[in-house]
Amino acid sequence: MSLSNVTKSSSNSGMNVSGLRVWRTDWRTLVQTLIVLFKLRVVFLLLMAATGGAFMAAGGWPGLGTMILVWVTGGSAAAGASAWNQYLERNKDGKMGRTHKRPLVTGAIANPVWVPYVATFMIIAPVLAVLPINPSLSFWLFAGAVIYVGIYTIWLKPRTLLNVVVGGAAGSAAVLSGSAAAGNWASHGALLLALVLFLWSPFHFWSLALLYRDEYARADVPMLPTQTTPRQAAWWVLSHTLPTGLAGLGLAAFQPLGLVYFIPMLLITGDLLWRNIRLILDPSPLYARNMFISSNIYLLVLILFVCLDSMLPF
């Protein structure tokens, strides 16, 4: 092989490697953009809540078909509602350090006119698809999206510090969509789990808002910590942490849950309350962050043991 052929071969190989790297970078950027745009981390939490509702309604494993139905329809509707939320709040997101890198702020999505159409389709498609076979599931999917987009994002969030109190009903709708998919949306256990989500949402978001208190104030969003002192906000957090913990423990009274659920929940509830007390004593960003992270862990542990205990034969 001549030197010129070797040079050409090396050059082509370099171009191929470079092109592969660019493709991988673009692919990863696209995936990351979609994760942020559709808030897939939040969607995951909502699907966990819906899964818990399905297990409570079924009294155990609801069946693979039911779970696929929950995850596909609930995931699509929740992701669509999340995209609508980001589209509507893109200007305010640019004023906050926590959100200023979202794709509708940075221009990563250069022409976002398509976002509302895609988001609406992602909500309406599953709602209409399941309407003939499961009207209750259709209702709760639609209700969750309307609460999050219409009531929380458009109406309450810009106007009142009670925004996340009422907005927490979107999480409750996720639970009831799961129990509806399992064929019994009004199951007593599922209704109590929906109440847990309703009570959990305010102290979860208030902890986050306490951490980013100055940014919410700069964006003119009346989250509760911007309307009170940090210590008063910490007390308000406790006013929802305590009933959430009690309601979460109360789930153990409903079949099919028992001690396997109750004991770890007693421990995680005690830890959550202790972290809230530390936040009251020192309402600093460090303890606000700890409280926010602990609220996520609390919900994950609760749903995990709802599912685990309901499948045990004793």
pLDDT, tens only, 82-130: 999 999 999 999 999 889 999 999 998 888 999 999 999 999 999 999 9
Q: How confident is the model at residue 162 (pLDDT cuts 50, 70, 90)?
A: confident
Burial of 309 (0-12, 13-18, 19+ CB in 10 A): buried
Would you list the domain boundaries of the chain?
A: 35-311
pLDDT, tens only, 8-17: 444 444 445 4
Measured CA to CA, the distance from residue 38 to residue 128 in angstroms comes to: 21
Q: Which long-range contacts (CB under 8 A, 24 or more apart) does 118-124 make?
A: 118/80, 118/83, 119/80, 119/81, 119/83, 119/84, 119/87, 120/80, 120/84, 121/80, 122/76, 122/77, 122/79, 122/80, 122/83, 123/76, 123/77, 123/80, 123/81, 123/84
- Give the pLDDT of residue 10: 44
- Give the pLDDT of residue 25: 55
pTM listed for this prediction: 0.90
Helices (H), 59-148: 64-88, 90-93, 103-106, 115-130, 135-145
Question: Is pLDDT of 158 > 50?
Answer: yes
Question: Is pLDDT of 220 > 80?
Answer: yes
Measured CA to CA, the distance from residue 108 to residue 198 in angstroms comes to: 34
